[in-house]
Chains A and B, each alone.
Chain A
Amino acid sequence: MHRVVITGLGVVAPNGNTIHKFTNAIKNGESGITYVPRLKELNFGCCIGGISEIDTSSLSSHLKESKLMNLKNTSITYGLTAALEAWLDAGLQPTPELNPADVDTGCIFGSGFTDMELSRFVIDTVNSGNVKMLGPRLAEQMMNSGVSAYIGGMLGLGNHVYSNSAACSTGTESLVMASRSIKHGYAKRMVVGSCDSYSPYTWGMFDSMRVLCRSANETPISGSRPMSKYANGFVPGAGAACMILESLESAIKRKAHIYAEIAGGSICCGGQRQTGTMTAPNSYRVSQCIEEAIVSANEAPANVDLICGHLSSTFADKVEIANWSRALNRSGSEFPFINSLKSMTGHCLSAAGIIESVAAVLQLHHQFIHPNLNCEELNPEILELIDESRIVRTTTQKDISVVMKASFGFGDVNSCIVLKKIKNYGNSLKPC
């Protein structure tokens, strides 16, 4: 069994499209949620969102000009950008074009929806009788594994390269799956992440479900309010993030910078039984997922310092808090600190788990807890479970050693990871 550590980070988030910008944003409580005029034109109830800014300048040195020129899928562009930043941050270089593939490194990079704008282009082009104009570079971008295929090619990866999809649990699930590959020796290193792009054709389906926030079109940054008394729907978002995971031996051997250890994790499904449905989690299985993650990390629930929740700013926030409380057997002022990045980014769907996990790693690495915005008045049902001091509302410097991050998605799917700070990096390296 190998221990798994994080040696590189990359992010394209609504409130920061590099690790440097993102770190500053979450420290300062900066929202990336804005008014989206196109949604208003299309008669959406929710006209706000968190749309990550695209900057492909870093890709031009590592992709053929023709490949970049023909890259039409925004999800893949997000994913490539985050993956390249993480790879370089880990002190690695892409395998040169003429070298053999790097057989020690694999990739699991997920997505939820394909780029619906690109789907529309394909449908319109075919329907207009101009199928020839689609060209040869769209099939590879429309396939579900498109993003991992592009990343694998850019970096020259020769181990298991694939894409997962588990709705809003996708990013956190990818971390658990990659950790297992390294833990059991199938790979030394994994490029891990997920992505989701903005499109009214994706967001419209959620708007029609009436699960989006409709009350903040005039004040976009106040729309995402996890744990607030006034939480009334999530704000959609788009982006990607990536982590480089590798075995502790590999990281030490190449003297890599280590951000944190992924000490454990769990994935499960509620089977849409008991309290679970297609769109709501089975609370018993959520609690068990958290419990299994803690056990796999060989950690005591009492040692958890911070929970980076799924907490999407809906009525389900209070249910999630109850599930955490039951799983950790902690409540009131004994409950860990808790926050939700979605208060700044909105809910980035399949990218949410990985973007929020990057935020969790940054908090652990830099020893701070980012604020949970827009919860001046807390949900009273949540306050029946935990003390209000546990819900962090201003940036707080804290000595934190163990952080848990969980994500839940449609299909009643759950995933959870346990992050630990690494102390004494060197000869006597051990988790704190």
Chain B
Amino acid sequence: METPSNLVKIASILKPYIEDHEFQNLKSSDHLVNDLNIDSADLVCVVLDVENSYGIVIEDAAIENIKTVADILTIVESTVDK
């Protein structure tokens, strides 16, 4: 289940990777590449940061399916819940 606190936490993780310094109001529907301009190498950094932040391990197969902020939230919610 997506919670506002998780969205805030993910937003703080994503912030350094977003080119537009003025960018605010991250939405769960935002596409990481098309909307946030995060390249593939930075996406791996984001995954590492999420893993460290939540103390979880994200499987390689799951990384391939991460396209939007919502995808990250889904992985976090489902993994942390376990």
Contact = CB atoms under 8 A, between A and B. Distances in A.
Interface string A115-133: 0000000000000000011
A426 interface: no
Interface stretch (B26-34, B36-44, B73-81): B36-44
B16 A64 contact: yes
A65 B22 CA distance: 12
Contacts of B40: 136
B19 A64 contact: yes
B45 interface: yes
Interface residues of A, number: 12
A95 interface: no
A70 B45 contact: yes
Contacts of B37: 97
Interface in A133-151: 133, 135-137, 140
Interface string A168-182: 000000000000000
B15 A65 contact: yes
Contact of A135 (B17, B18, B48): B48
A66 B17 contact: yes
A69 interface: yes
Interface residues of B, number: 13
B16 A136 contact: no
Interface string A203-214: 000000000000
B37 to A, nearest CB: 7
A77 B62 CA distance: 34
A133 B17 CA distance: 18
A66 B48 CA distance: 13
Contacts of B45: 66, 70, 135-137
Interface in B1-18: 15-18
A413 B80 CA distance: 60
Contacts of B41: 136-137, 140
A96 to B, nearest CB: 10
Interface in B40-73: 40-42, 44-45, 48
A267 B21 CA distance: 44
Given A136-B41, A137-B41, A64 B17 contact: yes
Contacts of A140: 41
A64 B42 CA distance: 11
A97 B19 contact: yes
Contacts of A64: 16-19, 42
Contacts of B18: 64
Nearest to B42: A66
A133 B44 CA distance: 11
Interface in A60-76: 64-66, 69-70
Q: Which 6 A-B pairs have the closest CB atoms?
A: A65-B16, A136-B44, A136-B41, A66-B16, A66-B17, A97-B19
21 contacts: A64-B18, A64-B19, A65-B15, A65-B17, A65-B21, A66-B16, A66-B42, A66-B45, A97-B19, A97-B37, A132-B48, A133-B48, A135-B44, A135-B45, A135-B48, A136-B40, A136-B41, A136-B42, A136-B44, A136-B45, A137-B45
Given A66-B17, A140-B41, 12 more contacts: A64-B16, A64-B19, A64-B42, A65-B16, A65-B21, A66-B16, A66-B42, A66-B45, A97-B37, A135-B48, A136-B41, A136-B44
